């Protein structure tokens, strides 16, 4: 039986030179373009090594953050996709750029008609999606997204993540159907009371965004205790270099759409 983290296809967008100007909440220097390119290539190689056929879209010079394809859309292996409305003006135009590529793969495409929502704020568990309110996802967008996801048969829960994270999934990730990896603040919040929570050690919170693919978990290198926790849970940790993308506030889930 196909599990929620068994994917056969993914879509990514190669970073262009403007990606070094990607948004970052805490300021800081630009990452090196060669570093971004090599981390992205390593990520694509890791998707392919997991048996996933990857569609690679061309860079978009006018949208520095367009390599983070997870934010302008949501996709489901059952053939549905949702065009979202990113909550920061510089990313709004990414949706129209992504739409034609999605139309080649998805039969039913819904559009967020109200409010703002970023895909990074949506954690999809079996039968239920958690939608985080953030600086990017407002209540109108979350409610509208909930309406659409309920059409798809998913229950939804709108949650307020602890402060200080860009997106809900900056601080938590799916490990399996019953399990999430989460920072201490999320673990203590009771948000995932119905799930098994693997708590990220306090000094490794930057590594809480991981990507489960079949029997492996793509994760940032430099988080040895998270790697041990994942291995202890029976999945294979695959550490990837993420130093450059982390400088523009990104992790593992945000660089692809999977179905």
Q: Which residues bind ligand CIR (CB under 6 A)?
A: 22-23, 65, 68, 70-71, 91, 120, 166-167, 170, 248-251, 254
Distance between CA atoms of residues 222 and 164, nearest Å:
21
Q: Is 167 assigned a catalytic role?
A: yes
State in angstroms the smallest separation of the CB of 248 from ligand CIR.
Answer: 4
User: Which is closer to ligand CIR, CB of 19 or CB of 51?
Assistant: 19
Q: Which of 40, 116, 172, 254 is catalytic?
A: 254
The residue among 165 and 175 lying less far from ligand CIR, judged by its C-beta, is 165
Active-site residue, 116 included: no
State which residue, 212 or 232, has the beta carbon closest to ligand CIR.
212
- Does an H or E element contain 226, and which? helix 224-232
Q: Of the candidates 222, 230, 228, 224, which has an alpha carbon nearest to the alpha carbon of residue 251?
A: 222
The minimum distance between CB 234 and ligand CIR, in angstroms, equals 26
Q: Which of 40, 116, 167, 172 is catalytic?
A: 167
Contact 154, 108 (CB under 8 A): no
CB atoms near residue 61 (< 10 Å): 11
Q: How far is the CB of 1 from ligand CIR (least distance, A)?
A: 28
Single out the residue of 114, 117, 147, 150 nearest to residue 134, CA to CA: 117
- Sort 202 into a burial class: Cβ within 10 Å, 0-12 / 13-18 / 19+: exposed
For the CB of residue 215, give the shortest distance to ligand CIR in the complex, in Å. 24
The residues carrying an active-site annotation are 167, 254
């Amino acid at each position: 039986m196909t599990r929620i983290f068994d994917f056969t296809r993914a879509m990514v967008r190669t970073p262009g030179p403007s990606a070094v100007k990607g948004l970052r909440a805490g300021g800081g220097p630009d990452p090196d373009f060669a570093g971004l390119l090599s981390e992205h290539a390593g990520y694509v190689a890791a998707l392919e090594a997991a048996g996933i056929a990857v569609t690679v879209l061309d860079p978009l010079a006018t949208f520095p953050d367009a390599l983070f394809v997870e934010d302008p859309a949501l996709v489901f292996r059952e053939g549905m996709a949702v065009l979202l409305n990113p909550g920061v003006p510089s990313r709004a135009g990414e949706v129209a750029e992504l739409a034609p590529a999605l139309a080649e793969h998805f039969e039913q495409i819904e559009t967020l008609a109200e409010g703002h929502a970023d895909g990074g704020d949506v954690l999809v568990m079996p039968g239920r999606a958690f939608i985080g309110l953030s600086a990017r996802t407002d209540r109108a967008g979350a409610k509208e997204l909930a309406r659409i996801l309920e059409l798809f048969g998913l229950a939804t829960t709108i949650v307020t993540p602890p402060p200080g994270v860009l997106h809900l999934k900056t601080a938590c990730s799916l490990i399996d159907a019953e399990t999430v990896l989460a920072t201490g603040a999320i673990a203590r919040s009771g948000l995932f009371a119905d799930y098994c929570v693997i708590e990220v050690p306090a000094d490794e919170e930057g590594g809480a965004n991981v990507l489960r693919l079949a029997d492996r978990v793509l994760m940032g290198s430099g988080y040895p205790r998270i790697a041990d926790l994942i291995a202890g849970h029976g999945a294979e940790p695959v550490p990837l270099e993420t130093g450059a993308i982390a400088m523009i506030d990104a992790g593992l889930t945000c660089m692809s759409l999977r179905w």
